[in-house]
């Protein structure tokens, strides 16, 4: 386990969510369908809004409509970013990856940290959580603005983002700043931001944020570290890799393909030493419920889309092939098998940007957890490491 990425080692406490290998994610004990049933929706929308999930993650309680509306208003009031951060983003070259820009902007907003200011004044550690809370709320509120500036600088010729509308929810304001006003697309972004928000504490972005925060780095610095981990190909870039693989598949096989043609292509992929992206998970042993949530959205809004139909066909074919191959512990699709397909359909085709949207979402879970880290007074994280020689001696090996 020590040589295998510490898979399965129980060494962290995370209250916001728990990932069961067979059941999938539970947010404070609630499954995704239960959250969809109980959490508030935006007026005129069909999907729950991320504000309600954040309330649940932070407090363990299901919020009322009024509480969620108040949180939307609070975040809208906090959404403006410092002028030096805007200037920095506008000066970045267009060749700089969106995630590099995102991380740099988050670090630069550390100039606004209430936690840093309070710590320098010597406040009692029992109040650390109050300042971590203020930083977390400000950070979450500002991330859509940062992300939208990056998007418009890179893909919309540097045109300015629109002002925040204090009557809109967090996701709707994000979409407006990106330049999208389709109501179904806004609902999709609400769903996307909810589904990518938290996946217990052991994944790279959540663990990195927690680890850096344990050194009493402020929430801006902690979250930036998590985002640098999210930028890695083995974490946040997976949905992009799915789309690239689907593109190669369609270029090789053409339009509509038979199950037999698809089976042959998948076997050729596996026999060449590659994997089928979007299938398998480090913990899950069944189909990711986040995949099902996105599939239901697609069945409702884009059932005849060719890329969605191909995704559905893969769901029918790939698991049996992976089981026959015998290498995969989990042959079932995960969240990345579907998310990029939905974004492509509504015109958000800039794949390099998808991880930034993932990052905006992941702030909900990591910040809720970080607030609790400070409230509980959790200590500096410092596990013991060993050399290979030391392990040999421990195990009595020659």
Non-local (6+) Cβ contacts of 136 within 8 A are: 219, 367, 368, 370, 371
- 207 counts as catalytic: no
Token pair belonging to 334: 């995960």
Residue 334 DSSP code: -
> Which helix or strand (DSSP H or E) is residue 147 part of?
helix 128-155
- 281 counts as catalytic: yes
Are the beta carbons of 206 and 199 closer than 8 angstroms?
A: yes
Catalytic residue among 281, 288, 338, 373: 281
How many Å apart are CA 171 and CA 164, to the nearest integer? 11
How many Å apart are CA 308 and CA 342, to the nearest integer? 8
**Smallest Cα–Cα separation from 170: which of 201, 192, 198?**
192
Buried b (16+ CB within 10 A) or exposed e, 32-52: beebbeebbbbeebebbbbbb
**What's the Cα-to-Cα distance from 258 to each of 250, 253, 310, 331, rounded to whole Å?**
12, 10, 10, 21
- 199 counts as catalytic: no
- Backbone φ and ψ of 274, nearest 5°: -95, 170
Catalytic residue among 20, 46, 97, 235: 235
**Smallest Cα–Cα separation from 220: which of 309, 118, 117, 113?**
113
Query: For residue 41, what are the β-bridge partners?
Result: 48
Catalytic residue among 135, 198, 288, 336: 336
Tell me how many degrees the CA angle 256-259-260 measures, rounded to the nearest 5.
110
Q: What are the residue numbers of the active site? A: 235, 281, 336
């Amino acid at each position: 386990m020590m040589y295998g990425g510490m898979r399965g080692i129980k060494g962290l406490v995370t209250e916001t969510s728990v990932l069961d290998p067979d059941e999938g994610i539970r947010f404070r004990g609630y499954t995704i369908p239960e959250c969809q049933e109980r959490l508030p929706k935006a007026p005129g929308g069909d999907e729950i809004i991320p504000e309600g999930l954040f309330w649940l993650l932070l407090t363990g309680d299901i919020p009322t409509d009024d509480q969620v509306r108040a949180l939307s208003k609070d975040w809208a009031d906090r959404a403006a970013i410092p002028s030096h951060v805007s200037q920095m983003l506008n000066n970045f070259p267009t060749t700089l990856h969106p995630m590099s820009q995102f991380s740099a902007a988050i670090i630069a907003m550390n100039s606004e940290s209430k936690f840093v200011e309070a710590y320098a004044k010597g406040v009692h550690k029992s109040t650390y959580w109050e300042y971590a809370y203020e930083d977390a709320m400000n950070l979450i509120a500002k991330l859509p603005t940062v992300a939208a500036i990056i998007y418009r600088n890179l893909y919309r010729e540097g045109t300015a983002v629109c002002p925040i509308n204090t009557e809109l929810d967090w996701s709707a304001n994000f979409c407006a700043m990106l330049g999208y006003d389709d109501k179904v697309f806004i609902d999709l972004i609400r769903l996307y931001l909810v589904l990518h928000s938290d996946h217990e504490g052991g994944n790279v972005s959540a663990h990195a944020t927690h680890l850096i925060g344990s050194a009493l780095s402020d929430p801006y610095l902690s979250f930036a570290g998590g985002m640098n981990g999210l930028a890695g190909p083995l974490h946040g870039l997976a949905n992009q890799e799915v789309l690239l693989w689907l593109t190669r598949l369609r270029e090789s096989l053409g339009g509509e393909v038979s199950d037999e043609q698809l089976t042959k292509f998948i076997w050729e992929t596996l026999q060449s030493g590659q994997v089928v992206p979007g299938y398998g998970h480090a913990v899950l042993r069944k189909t990711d419920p986040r995949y099902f949530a996105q599939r239901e959205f697609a069945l409702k809004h884009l059932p005849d889309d060719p890329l969605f139909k191909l995704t559905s066909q893969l769901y029918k074919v790939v698991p049996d092939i992976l089981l026959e191959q015998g290498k995969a512990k989990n042959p079932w699709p995960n969240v990345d098998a579907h998310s990029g397909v939905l974004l492509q359909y509504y015109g958000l085709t800039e794949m390099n940007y998808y991880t930034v949207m993932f990052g905006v979402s992941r702030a909900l879970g990591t910040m809720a957890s970080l607030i609790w880290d400070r409230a509980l007074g959790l200590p500096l994280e410092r596990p013991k490491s060993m050399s290979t020689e030391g392990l040999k001696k421990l195990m009595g090996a020659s």
